[in-house]
Structure 1
Amino acid sequence: MSHAHVADRVHVRAPGKINLFFQVGDVQDDGYHDVASAYQAVSLYEDVWAEHSDGFSITVSGTVDVAGVPADDRNLALRAARLVAQRAGYESGVHLEIVKHVPVAGGMGGGSADAAAALLACDQLWGTDLGGQELQRLAARLGADVPFSLLGGTAIGTGRGDQLSPALAKGRFDWVIVPSDEAGLSTPEVYRHLDRLREDRAADIAPPVRSPAVDPAVLQALRAGDAAVLAECVRNDLQAAALSLRPSLRAALELGDEAGALAGMVSGSGPTLAFLTAGPEAALELQVSLSASGLTALHVHGPVPGARIL
């Protein structure tokens, strides 16, 4: 272990994400699903501070409702800290202070961003110098979205979503995010509901594919930096299940469509909604329109970098 970079307190910021494209394969024998995802990191961030402590502890606050966020070993960030300590043979602890801005259980990877930030913060705080590849390996042990939270930008994820390949995205894409004012949705429950809908052959559910893959048109639209073309090929296989579990989201999706969004979709497993717009001005207009309808609307853009030390 190197102590060259040991600090007293480390601040790391990590972004939330949007799944521009999310295809879900059939359920596997182990209960998981293979997926193909196009991730984009967006300018809605989680802030994590790490400081030396004899034990492992955490405090959580934020501009979003954090009532459902555990402050014990169920918290992914605390588990990330313990993984770094275990891997590096570090025998003391850490206190993590998390300030959340990404909706909790909202399908934007806020918990995964916390975990990615904790990995990077503890590595820097303790001077363990594990390196990017090892941090990515630890991230994959924590959850499918954690490796992308470290990487950021735009990327294609396959397998469980954690086998990442960076994707070229030209320019900037502007989104309006609408968090739900109701409780979050459980990702495992959304997947289970998708499986039930597929078994029942629901009319609006595509049958599962054996080998999920991202539509090449998505990659072409990203390379061209063309929001209008991207809007034609965004997809989320979890959307039908999320809308079935939370029918009230349909009205908000329709509002966004009527107010000029190029495309609207459930973000990840929901219930946060993401609306793609033609640019910054169009995003501002949509934000104002949705806010006037009584919805919380946030203008974000992507791609942005992954977890980084400030």
Structure 2
Amino acid sequence: METRVRAPKFDYIRRKGFRLFHVLNNYEHHSNGRLWVIWNKASLRITALSSGNQWIHIQVEDPGCATFQVFFVYGLNSAEGRYDLWTFLQHIRPHHPWVCLGDFNCVRKVEERISDTVPNLQAIDDFNEAVYGAGLEDSLTHGCNFTWTNKQEHGDRKWIKLDRVLVNSAWQTIFTSSYADALAAGVSYHSPLVVWGTPDEPSRPKQFRCFDEEIILSGTCLEDTHAAMLISDVTEDEIHDALFSIDVNKSPGPDGFSSGFFRQAWSVIKGEFVKVVHDFFRSGKLLKEINSTIISLIPKGDNPSSVQDYRPISCCSTI
């Protein structure tokens, strides 16, 4: 919960409204507190991990549920003031399931604001660098796209996506069906954020591998050696051969990098490229930024006049 309640009033409000609840705050870092974390004593076990003038970081243990971490954010208004927040996010980067949410006071894209003021592109770059460096990405979110408005009339109205929910890959592995709701703002200038999700039953990650023709032709029953080949790690040579079998003139995908780029730069990027492929085969998960495509419509002839006159092709990422 974001709050502008000063420290002297905290105990009074807590006694009036939250006597049956535990409450964490960050008054030791800011006179206004800025953040309260409130939970039911009987249902959750919360461990405070750290706090600052822009965050409270906790670990949650829920009986019958996975242990996970939550990072509540209320970013400062200035880009310079948020540097400490961005640095700390990248520093902690836990391996546990982790959800990071709140008012970041910054957008990740120019399109996430409707305003007459010129966006601070450096601030956007700093935010995105922190998100990538912390191993986070946006959660699936329903509801309001712009989570803050100044509620001014006519041409002075502004809409900006200041509030969001970010999750790491461990969170997505455990809470595969989780999502967030950005609710209507009501009396506040901000949309409340609600995160939904329950841990899935543990399961072994699926292995993805092409069948070897020699194994298929040998019959329906697999020898132990053949079975071992199907679940063995792909080798660096196999990855190299697959990449170099792609025509260098193939159209690039959404990232703009064709197979020709990767082939020319192989001596530089080989280690990271191989690691990405190995991570996919071992985890069964692929970043949505990689698992995306551009649909292009190619005219079948001169002067196309309808959809039937075009041939759709998919421009996939090389990886």
- The TM-score bracket by the shorter chain reads under 0.3
Q: What TM-score, normalized by structure 2, do the two folds share?
A: 0.23
Higher relative contact order (CA 8 A, sep 6+): 1
User: TM-score, with normalisation over the residues of structure 1?
Assistant: 0.24
Larger Rg: 2
